[in-house]
Amino acid sequence: MKPRRHRKQAPSFRKLLKTSKIKLDNKLKNKQFKQESSAKKYRKEQKKLREAVRDVGSKAPVPLDNVKKKHQVVEENDLDEGSLPLDMIDDDDLQLMREMAQKASFVTRDLSSSEPVHATKRKQDSVIEQYEKKPRRMKMEPEKEVIHLLPIKDKTGIIPQSIEKPVVHAEEEEEEEVVDTEEPEAPPAEPVRVFSTEELIEHRRTTLEQKKIHIASLASAILADPENSIKKLKELRVMLTEQDSTVAVTIRKLVLISLLEIFKDIAPSYKIRPLTEEEKTARVKRETQKLREFEEGLISQYKFYLESLEQTIKDWKQMKIKKSEVLSLRAYKGLAEVAVMCLCELMLSLSHFNFHNNIIVLVVPLIDDKCKKIADMCVEAVKKLFRQDKFGHASLAAVKIISGLVKSRNYCVRPEVLNILLHLRIKEVEVKKDVEDTTRKQKLMSYQEKKKNLTRMQRKWKKAEEKLERELLEAEASENKEKKLKLHTETLNIVFLTYFRILKRAQKSVLLPAVLEGLAKFAHLINLEFFDDLLVVLNKLIESGELNYRESLHCVQTAFNILSGQGDVLNIDPLKFYTHLYKTLYGLSAGTSNDDTVIALECLEVMLTKRRKQVSLQRAMAFVKRLSVLALHVLPNSSIGILSTGRGLLQAFPKMDILLDNESQGSGFYLPELDEPEYCNAQNTALWELQTLQRHYHPVVRVFAAHLCAGAPSEGSLALPASLSRRSAVELFSDYSMNEMTFNPPVPETIPRMKGKGRTYVLSEDLEEMVEAQLLKVTSAELDFAPLMTPSTS
């Protein structure tokens, strides 16, 4: 039996599929390498052919009559260098050479080409005719792109095929017909048109008008139907990237302001929250789905708009750092001012909407900007934000940023940064209670709850009521009072932390007046733990002598605000602060320190009137005597405020009426030059200054002086009217202020009355005769102007 021959089985698809990617890549690379090598071989062959043709053309043509037959011997003079003997040339090649020799233009033309020879044979066209159709080209010209075709195979072997990538030129047909030996000239470049100023202005006007109409139409369409106009909102926002340099700045400003008003109108009155995964996959009504799509598109466009505003401000700051051209810097500054204005308006108008904290982060640091216009805009916006904030969320965010800004810049910021904190609406904070009080209340509450009938039904009703209250609070968008107190407490803690840092590390900073003023306002809310340390620091600042008059008054005000609030429980006698204020009261005058009178009046109110139980009679009389002297040297509004304070002290201390008695004499003499109010013997003097003040030019000052001379009665003819008696000293100071160059009450325009119809004046006889004589001389004098008109001969 013959053994079976095993046939080679064709590879299965499974084996083909198992071919790795590396093998396939190698096969592809090998194929490309073969094509490149064949193309390189083809170029070498073409180069040899061009050299042979060039050599043939460079020699003189041989007459056809002298050419012998194929098998004859060729003489030496019939052969050229590098040419082949005729017996080695085929008939077809010999015929081609004869045709080439008969061409007159053969010698003068460049026959370089990359056309394959076998292609000409196949097409039966002359190689020269194909070469002549192509224009002459420079050797330095870059090679054209070539498209490789499938190769062909003949007797000689494999011949690669390729064609040039077609490039369409408008002048190609003309160049094919007319071939010049010279190099073709490049087409002349079109001249750049220069527009005149009038044309540029007209172009800008027309473009700007068209853009304005487009902006107005988009804005109207969005406001008419916001839910279906998100695409138009996006189109309007895209106009922020206007590239026309003649109108780019103006168009961007208009678009920024237009988007501001649109977002203010179409933004809902609630904060849009992101959807959960369950809500996204759940099936909802068509109206609900439409509302969700609108909210999502609105939030997206609003976010992009805020990013554009932020980028505009950043570009302006970068231009300032680079110190670019004046015109470009001015344009960027104008755009930045509009962007800041939009951010401030959004911060105030859309405080309930999304990204409000992001806007605060952008606006608050600009308070310390070097550009006064931008800084003032941000200052006013933050002040309004504090006044409008009812719950405390926005205030807390702004205060955190201010505290971080001051610390990061090493306390080198403008005083306005800290003066803004004075506009915080914080009147109550959480007070830490003693542990014993809290435990007692907890025990009492637990006992009361035990006394109640805490049945299951009652507990159930109680939980339902609490849940209902929470839902009502959420529905009304109102905050719980306890939560509000927590926010205020946290805000005030950050404020005091900033103040204490400056007092500790930067006492010579320009921020110290703002710190002292802020402490004076919020000192009654400071925790008891800091009272002792703070009073020591304030006393050291006063004794250092480095503070100006206003700052020292703020230190005194802060100290007594601390003691008038929670500090009532402390047994502290601030004698040093009394002495300092008594010593520096004469620093007030009718000059620049007149505005400091308000702080002094507030200090006197806290130090003497509110603490009258802790103040001795000797100290009170010394202050009243010094105030009556001071009322003679200040402006009328300060005199009225000081006399109002003296009136309050006379009513608070009834025994002080001895200062109004001229005949009363005590032991010793009054020492006005002594700085200690307790030992100046003020009981041995009288308020003589009130007599002088009764002749003051201001009518209200005269009324107050007469009222105090009568002992400040509450009834009678010398009692004050209700418009004066019911107002505080600070209010009277501001009411009668002359900062606006107005006098209160207005001065009446009085016309002096004359007795009879008129007055006659009789001259003496001697004076009358003298006047008449002078008049006669003037009227009878003959004046000759001729000598003056003729020119002199000399």
pLDDT in tens, 576-608: 899 999 999 998 988 888 889 999 999 999 899
CA distance 135 to 143: 15
pLDDT in tens, 83-131: 444 444 455 555 555 555 554 443 334 433 444 444 444 444 443 344 3
Neighbour-count burial for 169-206, b at 16+ CB within 10 Å, e otherwise: eeeeeeeeeeeeeeeeeeeeeeeeeeeeeeeeeeeeee
Phi/psi at 325 (5° precision) = -65, 155
CA dist 710 → 229, 665, 689, 732 (Å): 78, 20, 14, 21
Cα angle, residue 616 at apex, residues 611 and 620 outer, rounded to 5°: 80
pLDDT score, position 565: 67
Averaged pLDDT, 46-61: 59
- Residues forming beta bridges with residue 162, ordered by sequence position: 148
pLDDT in tens, 542-557: 888 888 888 889 889 8
Mean pLDDT of the chain: 76
Q: Is 149 helix (H, G, I), strand (E, B) or coil?
A: strand
Averaged pLDDT, 531-548: 84
Residue 307's pLDDT band (cuts 50, 70, 90): very high
Share of the chain above pLDDT 70, in %: 71
pLDDT score, position 144: 60
Distance separating the N- and C-terminal Cα atoms of the chain = 171
Residue 200's pLDDT band (cuts 50, 70, 90): confident
pLDDT score, position 185: 53
CA distance 501 to 103: 104
pLDDT score, position 118: 43
Is pLDDT of 643 > 60?
yes
Averaged pLDDT, 551-566: 84
CA distance 643 to 649: 10
Residue 386's pLDDT band (cuts 50, 70, 90): very high
**Which of 638, 614, 637, 642 has the alpha carbon at shortest distance from 626?**
642
pTM of the model: 0.61
Residue 442's pLDDT band (cuts 50, 70, 90): very low
Residues 577/563, Cβ–Cβ less than 8 Å: no
Residue 42's pLDDT band (cuts 50, 70, 90): confident
CA distance 272 to 292: 10
Range with the poorest average pLDDT among 5-9, 190-194, 245-249, 720-724: 5-9
Residues 410/509, Cβ–Cβ less than 8 Å: no
Is pLDDT of 278 > 80?
yes
Q: What is the CA radius of gyration of the chain?
A: 52
pLDDT score, position 739: 81
Residues 6+ apart with CB under 8 A from 609: 645, 648, 649, 652
Averaged pLDDT, 14-40: 70
Range with the poorest average pLDDT among 257-266, 337-346, 366-375, 545-554: 545-554
Is pLDDT of 744 > 70?
yes
- Residues forming beta bridges with residue 146, ordered by sequence position: 164
CA distance 314 to 189: 41
Neighbour-count burial for 274-284, b at 16+ CB within 10 Å, e otherwise: eeeeeeeeeee
pLDDT score, position 18: 53
Range with the poorest average pLDDT among 194-203, 287-296, 648-657: 194-203
pLDDT score, position 342: 94
Tell me which of 426 and 323 has the higher pLDDT. 426
Q: Could you tell me how far CA 701 lies from the centroid of its own chain?
A: 50
Q: Is 686 helix (H, G, I), strand (E, B) or coil?
A: coil
Domain ranges of the chain: 33-70+77-138+145-167, 204-277+284-388, 573-746
- Residues forming beta bridges with residue 163, ordered by sequence position: 147
pLDDT score, position 62: 44
Averaged pLDDT, 224-230: 89
Tell me which of 415 and 454 has the higher pLDDT. 415
**Which of 514, 354, 301 has the alpha carbon at shortest distance from 419?**
514
Q: 745 preceded by cis ω (within 30°)?
A: yes
The string of DSSP codes covering 179-231 is: --SSPPPPPPPPPPPPPPHHHHHHHHHHHHHHHHHHHHHHHHHHHH-GGG-HH
Residue 174's pLDDT band (cuts 50, 70, 90): very low
Share of the chain above pLDDT 90, in %: 27
Averaged pLDDT, 149-175: 65
Residue 201's pLDDT band (cuts 50, 70, 90): confident
pLDDT score, position 449: 57
pLDDT score, position 619: 92
Tokens of 541: 């600042």
In one letter, which amino acid is 355? F
**Which of 392, 334, 343 has the alpha carbon at shortest distance from 365?**
343
Averaged pLDDT, 717-742: 88
CA distance 658 to 666: 10
pLDDT score, position 94: 52
